[in-house]
Amino acid sequence: MSTAHFSHRYTAPAMLLHWLLALLILGSLVVGYAMTGMPFSPQRLKLYNWHKWAGVVILALSALRLLWRLTHRPPPDLPMPRWQQRAAHATHQLLYLLFFAVPLVGWAYSSAAGFPIVVFGLLPLPDFVPVDKALAAAIKPWHAWLAYTLAALVLLHVAGALKHHFIDRDGLLRRMLPGRS
């Protein structure tokens, strides 16, 4: 066996991408929920734009994160029951799927509804699908349900991490926190 140091922590870029995405996704979910309950106003339109911008950034960071993940092995699983390992892996796979599905379906809805996405007011994105009000009406609930599913999986992910930190005390959460372990 090699005497080389073997890290059980995630790399700094993996941690940075994880926490940036966590903040953006949480913020986007909160803004998305808030804006849908507001009456039509300039503030609501501003929140819609912020929500769209966040979705585009989430999509780009998710692609970068997936590329990083495919080219850099994560630390080995900690010892835990097989069902927990399977649940964790399934949750992570669904999270990755939703990191792409939620913003892409949102982009499709925005395109079909005829509301262009202009990132930060500077970069217009092409329409993802043609303008079609019936298609927009069909897509809109999918974006909401995928976002709610993402929110539920995020809660499950956080609950699992907190369970490992406070109950199991196995160091799992520290692997994704910056600083020394």
Is residue 30 a part of any domain in this protein? yes
Is residue 122 a part of any domain in this protein? yes
Q: Which residues contact 6 (CB under 8 A, 6 or more apart)?
A: none
Could you tell me the CATH number of the domain that includes residue 159? 1.20.950.20
Is residue 2 a part of any domain in this protein? no
Range of the domain at 115: 12-73+89-176
Is residue 6 a part of any domain in this protein? no
Q: What pTM value is reported for the model?
A: 0.91
Summarize pLDDT for 134-168 with one digit per residue, the tens.
999 999 999 999 999 999 999 999 999 999 999 99
Is residue 119 a part of any domain in this protein? yes
Mean of per-residue pLDDT scores for the chain:
93
Q: Which residues contact 84 (CB under 8 A, 6 or more apart)?
A: none
Is residue 61 a part of any domain in this protein? yes
Q: Per DSSP, what are the bridge partners of residue 124?
A: 118
**Of 118, 106, 107, 90, whose CA–CA distance to 145 is shortest?**
106
**Of 21, 2, 18, whose CA–CA distance to 103 is shortest?**
21
How many domains would you assign to the chain? 1
- Predicted confidence (pLDDT) at residue 5 exceeds the cutoff of 90: no
Q: Which residues contact 65 (CB under 8 A, 6 or more apart)?
A: 14, 17, 18, 21, 99
Q: What is the pLDDT of residue 7?
A: 56
| The two three-digit tokens of residue 136, written as one number | 């927009």
Q: Per DSSP, what are the bridge partners of residue 119?
A: 123
- Predicted confidence (pLDDT) at residue 4 exceeds the cutoff of 90: no
